[in-house]
Structure 1
């Protein structure tokens, strides 16, 4: 079996899918939003009663309507800013919506400037905002003339805010707004809810767009839940945002409502209360908030394998202290763990090289029968008999490779998504392991090492095809890794270097065995 073709097929499929997704995201046009995606779940009797406007308070439903009715409302352009030990928060005064969050450690903005905001009280037009200082927190309080209040309690240190709202007219607390165009969520990734099944996630692109050439319709927001949120974090110098290392997460006392406007929390007796996490997608703070939220760290399909590999990587980092060198040592550990599998694969290919003259002789014998399927079956039977007589399994070179595919894919997801590699330096020009190599040095080295490994590997199959693949595959992989995180590219470069040494040693010590015909 030609192992090169199998590898090419797997990687080529991934590249084609990635290309389709890129074309879809770049050229698909938004379509106008129409009717509601799904109505909110039916409220309980108590909620239905509470949701009815109080007869003693009649207020216009929007800030603009309130202004027209003579109710004093803050200027829509007015903002209120509060800085804590970890975050700088910006609200729109008129609505009480949290418009921007900045992580003070490096100045990362959570949302685009056009973001609609989190936590606004629907229909409220606030007149004033004030800060109340507590021993370990600050309460930011929005109020209006009709007795409505929205309070954010911000801790002096930490990422969890307490949000409380009171509304005599039974207004709802808007949690996440559903935009009608790209601008409010430009650069953002997913909106998600946490259900018993796990994370139900949809990208904002899929919510707003049909897929390429209309092959699939726009997707609705994920099902309602008591836990929901959005990906956040816009890197300063990123031309196109791929990974989001932060999140805004709501923990609610009851199921959120969902309609065409987004997610909302219905009041009980005019009162609402929730917790809002604004911070990194990192295991420790997420566990402190609530354990299920650790699922928002996207480790991909082979999540369990990714978790194990990252646990090993963290143990190495605890000894080394640098994430770049940790990846180098981690690669050595993975190579040693799969050494036996890779040895079997290489020996199987060398053995297939020994069989090649006998294979060609059998194929030449049946060449005169052309495409006769009966004769082709006889030829395959004769080939298998030859392998069996010599105790060789032609699939022996493929099985080790297939067993390593979960590790390959798990590492790809893990090194692409873990927060710890964000802005982590290695040496020299590599100042951020989560960003691409700015000078493309490691992608080129990785491609060169792949070319060298293919040139050293035993030549099996059609020589012309092998010569073409020896150039095409490294070139494709070089372009693919040119846009990948530097940490991932370093891993595969070191992986290939160790593979070169292993292949050289095996070929040096391999003794061809005679073929019994």
Structure 2
């Protein structure tokens, strides 16, 4: 873990020497790490998508073979094996955690005490935002994925109902998380959330187009 943190710190310093702006450097290194981890992230998304399909198939199997116990048990065994494989695919999130934690730790222990053109109202990236602009932006970035299902293009394919309580909880937790943390961490959270949102949109478009081609 210390090795990864040291490597990220060196990379951050290199980017800072080129950009001359610590805030821009934080955004760039966050995007770079996200791009490196993208294969794992996409693998996780495909696994979660498959998991959802398997849950739906299980309901269909139970209904189809409800009067044939022997065939039902056979189908459930086959389905369980596929479910285990899919769950292993979802575990790729754990492989990302050490790098994400090291990146967070790098920003938390930054020796620099600079301002950034990205947030001119802040005198130093090591202080919190007393105007609460950063927490508000992060909260909106975190709420964005919950609103994808409301977009007409995705609404037909969305099988998850809009959860008002989940949205409220997400908003409160997101605001609290960044209200008293250094602005550098807030920039990292915002960049990471926006990237994940864009990646999720692109993934949903790909799945929708794939399903359309399969249907045709």
**Same fold per superposition (TM over 0.5):** yes
Q: Which has the higher contact order (CA 8 A, sep 6+)?
A: 2
Unaligned stretches of 5+ residues in structure 1: 1-301, 366-377
1:401–1:383 CA distance, 2 compared to 1 (3 A): farther
Maintained 8 Å contact 1:387/1:393:
no
Unaligned stretches of 5+ residues in structure 2: 65-71, 150-156
After TM superposition, the score normalised by the length of structure 1 is 0.34
Q: What are the residue-to-residue correspondences of 1:131-150 with 2, within 5 Å?
A: none
Paired residue secondary structure (1:394): helix
Q: Which residue of 1 aligns with 2:96?
A: 404
Maintained 8 Å contact 1:354/1:512:
no
Per-residue Cα deviation, 1:297-338 (whole angstroms, up to 9, x for no partner): xxxxx3222111111111111111110111111111011111
Please report how far the alpha carbon of residue 431 of structure 1 lies from its aligned counterpart in structure 2 after TM superposition.
1.9
Greater fraction of residues in helix: 2
Maintained 8 Å contact 2:26/2:184:
yes
1:441 aligns with 2:140: no
**CA–CA separation in structure 2 for the residues paired with 1:405 and 1:504:** 22
Q: Which residue of 2 aligns with 1:286?
A: none
Q: What are the residue-to-residue correspondences of 1:90-239 with 2, within 5 Å?
A: none
1:498–1:448 CA distance, 2 compared to 1 (3 A): same
Q: What are the residue-to-residue correspondences of 1:395-474 with 2, within 5 Å?
A: 395-397=88-90, 399-420=91-112, 422=113, 424-427=114-117, 428-456=120-148, 463=161, 467-474=164-171
The structure whose Rg is larger is 1
1:483–1:392 CA distance, 2 compared to 1 (3 A): same
Task: Report how many aligned residue pairs link the two structures.
Answer: 196
After TM superposition, the score normalised by the length of structure 2 is 0.76
**CA–CA separation in structure 2 for the residues paired with 1:363 and 1:481:** 46
Q: Which residue of 2 aligns with 1:385?
A: 78
Instruction: Give 2:14's match in structure 1, choosing from 288, 292, 315.
Output: 315
**CA–CA separation in structure 1 for the residues paired with 2:102 and 2:171:** 22
Q: Which residue of 1 aligns with 2:42?
A: 343
1:512–1:416 CA distance, 2 compared to 1 (3 A): same
**CA–CA separation in structure 2 for the residues paired with 1:324 and 1:384:** 52
RMSD: 3.2
Maintained 8 Å contact 2:128/2:180:
yes
Maintained 8 Å contact 1:310/1:414:
yes
Greater fraction of residues in strand: 1
Q: Which residue of 1 aligns with 2:203?
A: 506
Q: Which residue of 2 aligns with 1:486?
A: 183
Maintained 8 Å contact 2:51/2:83:
no
Maintained 8 Å contact 2:126/2:183:
yes
Maintained 8 Å contact 1:351/1:512:
no
**CA–CA separation in structure 2 for the residues paired with 1:489 and 1:341:** 24
